[in-house]
């Protein structure tokens, strides 16, 4: 079987490629603008990599959609800080560029495995969010935090419609705060621009306090990447049971406040580095305005828990890795790769743009600034 992974160097792409190469005889065709997380895979005989940008290398990508059996378009900006500082970039990359891929998959009648997100539920107030019955609730337009959720939700809807009306073969999966090695980079964390676990670990490595936004009472269900990969492998190997379905992939059994995550991270950091808690800068409470920027449109969900009954039933899957050990493997990975000898740079004055700006996006940004309807 031939799998195409667009964004193969990312958190899910790099870990999934490794799992596929280790446990199957499939070929992985991958493209990405970076290679730092796949260096160990590059020489593998069944790993076929081409450096490339989803926004530019249309020919390579379309050709490989045609050539492969299953397509995973994993390129996206998935960091909340960027949703509020650069919402148009999120829309352009996460929606527009990925729509292109969905259409190629439809055109060549391939199978699509699409990463939706827990964010699509927004501020849903149910105890546990269900793929088939929960309402998706967002704030007003000036809360730009929801542009990622809207972009992903609209793609879910487009994919669903292609499936229903034209027979597109697809499965969408919704990761609920997957964590583990290679979640973001420590460089992006220095922009304040990574997801919470990498952010906490980077702060500790840089001898800076952990920042608890709004006191950290908001809750998430963190899920180990290896549990997530088990679910993805079940989806990849079982088209009949998973076709035209959306699956929540998360760990509802350990609902964790961000304050507790901070404590777990501090404990793991002390164990891994041999430091004592009194050597560390500790935990600071901050406001969302101070953390994400004043009038930037941040809004949070206070309680996010997946209903995973569908995944249990159709994938025969449930998570098994305890949160403490996931946090610890994240800490071990980043501490090992932390450039201790390098003095951390201060990036605070620089803009946050994690992906290359293409000609197209520059054009769009200029147009929007000039209020031209493009
Ligand atoms: C995430 C991201 O939107 C996506 O990566 C993803 O699709 C989805 O949710 C998911 O992984 O399930 P969120 O859970 O808010 O959103 O992501 P984080 O940036 O990891 O933040 C979690 C919580 O920690 C938020 O309440 C945030 O305000 C808080 N936080 C973050 C802190 O208290 N301190 C920090 O330094 C960073």
Q: Which three-class secondary structure string do you get for 295-336?
A: CCCCCCCCECCECCHHHHHHHCCCCCCCHHHHHHHHHHHHHH
Nearest CA to ligand 1 atom 17: 195
Residue of 83, 129, 195 to mutate, ligand 1, most atoms within 8 A of C-beta: 195
**Pairwise CA distance, residues 301 & 217, whole Å:** 11
Q: Which atom of ligand 1 is nearest to the CA of 300?
A: 26
**Pairwise CA distance, residues 23 & 253, whole Å:** 28
Residue of 10, 172, 177, 265 to mutate, ligand 1, most atoms within 8 A of C-beta: 177
User: Spelled out in words, what is the top-level CATH class assigned to the domain 76-343?
Assistant: alpha beta
- pLDDT for residue 192: 86
3-state secondary structure of 97: helix
- pLDDT for residue 360: 37
Nearest CA to ligand 1 atom 5: 78
Nearest CA to ligand 1 atom 31: 196
CA distances from 164 to 73, 106, 157, 193 (A): 20, 12, 10, 37
- Residue ranges covered by each domain of the chain: 76-343
**Pairwise CA distance, residues 251 & 249, whole Å:** 7
How confident is the prediction along the chain (374 residues), in pLDDT tens digits per residue?
A: 999 999 999 999 999 999 999 999 999 999 999 999 999 999 999 999 999 999 999 999 999 999 999 999 999 999 999 999 999 999 999 999 999 999 999 999 999 999 999 999 999 999 999 999 999 999 999 999 999 999 999 999 999 999 999 999 999 999 999 999 999 999 999 988 899 999 999 999 999 999 999 999 999 999 999 999 999 999 999 999 999 999 999 999 999 999 999 999 999 999 999 999 999 999 999 999 999 999 999 999 999 999 999 999 999 999 999 999 999 999 999 999 987 544 444 433 333 333 333 333 333 332 223 222 32
Nearest CA to ligand 1 atom 15: 80
Q: How far is the CA of 195 from the centre of ligand 1 (A)?
A: 5
Q: Are 201 and 266 in contact (CB under 8 A)?
A: no
Ligand 1 in contact with 303 (CB < 6 A)? no
Residue of 82, 143, 213 to mutate, ligand 1, most atoms within 8 A of C-beta: 213
Q: Which atom of ligand 1 is nearest to the CA of 196?
A: 20
- pLDDT for residue 359: 35
Ligand 1 in contact with 262 (CB < 6 A)? no
Residue 193 makes CB contacts below 8 A (sequence gap 6+) with 79, 81, 82, 184, 352, 354
- pLDDT for residue 338: 85
Q: Which atom of ligand 1 is nearest to the CA of 197?
A: 20
- Residue in this structure with the two tokens 């997957």, named with its chain if needed: 178
Residue 25 burial class via C-beta count within 10 angstroms: exposed 0-12, middle 13-18, buried 19 and up = exposed
Nearest CA to ligand 1 atom 14: 177
Q: How far is the CA of 81 from the centre of ligand 1 (A)?
A: 9
Nearest CA to ligand 1 atom 22: 196
Ligand 1 in contact with 198 (CB < 6 A)? no
- pLDDT for residue 161: 98
Residue of 86, 123, 150, 196 to mutate, ligand 1, most atoms within 8 A of C-beta: 196
Positive or negative torsion for Cα 22, 23, 25, 31: negative
- pLDDT for residue 340: 52
Confirm whether pTM is higher than 0.85. yes
């Amino acid at each position: 079987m031939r799998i195409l992974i667009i964004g193969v160097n990312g958190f899910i792409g790099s870990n999934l490629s490794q799992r596929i190469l280790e446990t199957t005889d499939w070929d992985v065709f991958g493209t990405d603008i970076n290679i730092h997380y796949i260096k160990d895979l590059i020489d593998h005989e069944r790993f076929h990599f081409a450096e490339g940008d989803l926004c530019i290398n249309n020919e390579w990508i379309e050709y490989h959609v045609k050539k492969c059996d299953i397509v995973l378009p994993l390129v996206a900006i998935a960091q909340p800080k960027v949703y509020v500082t650069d919402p148009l970039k999120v829309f352009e990359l996460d929606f527009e560029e990925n729509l292109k891929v969905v259409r190629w998959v439809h055109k060549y009648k391939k199978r699509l495995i699409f990463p939706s997100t827990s964010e699509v539920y927004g501020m849903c107030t149910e105890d546990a969010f269900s793929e088939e019955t929960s309402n998706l609730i967002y704030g007003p337009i000036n809360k730009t935090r929801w542009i990622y959720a809207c972009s992903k939700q609209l793609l879910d809807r487009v994919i669903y419609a292609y499936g229903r009306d034209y027979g597109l073969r697809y499965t969408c999966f919704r990761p609920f705060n997957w964590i583990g090695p290679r979640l973001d980079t420590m460089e992006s964390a220095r922009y304040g621009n990574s997801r919470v676990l990498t952010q906490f670990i980077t702060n500790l490595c840089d001898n800076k306090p952990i920042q608890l936004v709004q006191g950290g009472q908001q809750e998430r269900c963190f899920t180990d990447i290896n549990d997530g990969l088990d679910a993805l492998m079940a989806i990849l190997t079982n088209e009949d049971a998973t076709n035209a379905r959306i699956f929540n992939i998360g760990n509802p059994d350990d609902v964790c406040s961000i304050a507790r995550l901070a404590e777990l991270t501090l404990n793991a950091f002390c164990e891994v580095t041999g430091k004592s808690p009194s050597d560390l800068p500790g935990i600071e409470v901050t406001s969302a305005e101070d953390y994400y920027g004043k009038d930037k449109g941040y809004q949070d969900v206070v309680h996010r828990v997946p209903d995973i009954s569908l995944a249990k039933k159709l994938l025969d899957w449930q998570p098994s890795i305890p949160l403490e050990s996931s946090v610890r493997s994240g800490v071990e990975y980043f501490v090992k790769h932390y450039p201790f000898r390098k003095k951390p740079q201060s990036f605070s004055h620089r803009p946050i743009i994690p992906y290359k700006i293409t000609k197209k996006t520059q054009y769009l940004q200029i147009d929007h600034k000039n209020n031209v309807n493009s």
